[in-house]
Amino acid sequence: MPSETPLFNGEQRKRGGSVMNIHIIGAPIDLGAGRRGVDMGPSAIRYAGLGERLRQLGYTITDAGNIVVSQPETFPIDNPHLKYLEPILEACEKLAAVVERASGPDDFPLVIGGDHSIALGSITGAVKAHGSVGVVWIDAHADFNTDQTTPSGNIHGMPLAALAGLGDQRLVNFGGFSPKISPAHIAIVGARDLDDGERELLRAAHAHVFTMKDIDHLGLPEAIARALEVATTDTHALHVSFDMDSLDPREAPGVGTPVRGGITYREAHLMMELIADSGKLTSLDMVEVNPILDQENRTANLAVELILSALGKRIF
């Protein structure tokens, strides 16, 4: 777990012999979620000191600000099985372009959300930059629904399926190609709330799902080792998409879809430190911080701590 003044492993911050530049990219989208407020997540995470704390680790920081997102009041829901589809696609198109530009040899795109629909944009941008990308999806939910299986119509429950080539063709063909990622290179970690339809889709796709039962049975280090093997074997890059509801609500109260029995504070830090130790991480999402539901910015502060652990912060 992090201390106040940890020593930093300089190898983690360098690629090609130069200090890596972190591009902070805000994606203030709440259109994909069923509850308002998560669009303020980027502000809450920045307020928790993200940029300065990354500089203290020795990185150079470029804060790209926020992508421009059309406000939901100006759009009808349209299809109740694909709520706010068009403005979500528009926002993700902007995000994909920014992530692609921020993925140079010595650059690292850090996307702060915003609801999990933003992963459609961030991962598409990573794939355009790197080619084949493996994904570790850390979440209480699999987000593997389609418009045919969704119980809510909320698109933040669909991005991973769309990236794998399943669902409405407007989501599937986003960015002009499909699939973006192979299910063989997807590892979902921390799942404990799956819908019946998406469970069937996950099994049919042969995606790798490490539930909380698997974490309890295997131990977190072994579960993460297996997830990293899935995501980094025969791929060119590693994208981690971290939903704060993967944590137990006692640790992260400021999320829209809390589920009891989640990852603990210590497990979450260990998870991110092991990902950093792999030396393979090339891009990261941190999503679903909802300040309206939070307590004194606890969840945003924890999000910053976990980002730091993923990017090299150590006790010793």
Query: For the residues of 32-94, what is the DSSP string, one character each?
Result: TSSSTTGGGHHHHHHHTTHHHHHHTTT-EEEEEEE-----GGGS---STTSTTHHHHHHHHHH
Is 206 catalytic? The answer is no
Cα torsion 51, 57, 62, 64 to 10°: value is -40
What is the structure's pLDDT at 23? Answer: 98
**CA torsion through residues 31, 32, 36, 42, sign:** negative
Task: Provide the whole-model pTM.
Answer: 0.94
Rounded percentage of the chain residues whose pLDDT exceeds 90: 89
What is the DSSP pairing of strand 208-211 with strand 186-191? parallel
- Is 139 labeled as catalytic in the residue annotation? yes
Query: Per the residue annotation, which of 23, 39, 81, 141 is the catalytic one?
Result: 141
- Going by pLDDT thresholds of 50, 70 and 90, the confidence category of residue 35 is confident
Query: Of 13 and 67, which is predicted with more confidence?
Result: 67
Share of the chain above pLDDT 70, in %: 93
pLDDT at 210: 98
Query: Would you call the peptide bond into 157 cis, given omega within 30 degrees of 0 as the criterion?
Result: no
Contact in structure between 117 and 92 (CB atoms under 8 Å): yes
- What does the pLDDT read at residue 16? 43
| Residue 78 bears catalytic tag | no
Radius of gyration of the chain (CA): 18
State how far the Cα of 87 lies from the Cα of 78, in Å rounded to an integer: 11
Lateral strand order in the sheet of 21-27: 60-66, 21-27, 107-113, 281-287, 237-243, 133-138, 186-191, 208-211
Query: What average pLDDT score do residues 209-236 get?
Result: 98
pLDDT at 298: 98
Q: State yes or no: is 143 an active-site residue.
A: yes
Question: How distant, in Å, are the alpha carbons of 78, 223, 273 from that of 308?
Answer: 40, 21, 9
Q: How far apart are CA 27 and CA 112, in angstroms?
A: 6
What is the structure's pLDDT at 6?
A: 34
What DSSP string runs through 228-259?
Answer: HHHHHTT-SEEEEEEEGGGB-TTT----SS--
CA atoms of 169 and 149, how far apart (whole Å): 15
CATH topology of domain 20-310: Arginase; Chain A (3.40.800)
Closest CA to 168 of 186, 195, 150, 185: 150
Note the pLDDT of residue 73.
67
Angle of helix 265-278 relative to helix 298-310, nearest 10 degrees?
Answer: 30
Pick from 44, 24, 28, 47: which is nearest to 36 by CA?
A: 28
Catalytic residue among 39, 107, 115, 143: 143
Tell me which residue of 211, 198, 165 sits closest to 184, measured CA to CA.
165
Is position 147 annotated as part of the catalytic site? no
Q: Determine how β-strand 208-211 pairs with β-strand 281-287.
A: unpaired
- Reported confidence tier of residue 17, pLDDT bands at 50, 70, 90: very low
Query: Is 81 part of the annotated catalytic residue set?
Result: no
Q: 288: which 2 tokens?
A: 């679903």
- Alpha-carbon span 241 to 137, nearest angstrom: 5
Per residue in 124-165, pLDDT (tens digit) is 999 999 999 999 999 999 999 999 999 999 999 999 999 999
| pLDDT at 14 exceeding the cut of 60 | no
Comparing C-alpha atoms, which of 291, 270, 280 is closest to residue 235?
A: 280
Indicate if the pLDDT at residue 37 is higher than 60. Answer: yes
pLDDT at 100: 98
Q: 294: how many CB neighbours lie within 10 A of its CB?
A: 22
> CA 147 to CA 163: how far, in whole Å?
14
Residues 39, 100, 248, 288: which is the catalytic one?
288
- Is residue 243 annotated as a catalytic residue, yes or no? yes
Asked if 25 and 111 touch (Cβ cutoff 8 Å), the reply is yes
Q: What is the C-alpha separation between 87 and 64, in angstroms, rounded?
A: 21
Catalytic position from the list 39, 90, 139, 214: 139
Which of 23, 81, 116, 185 does the annotation list as catalytic? 116
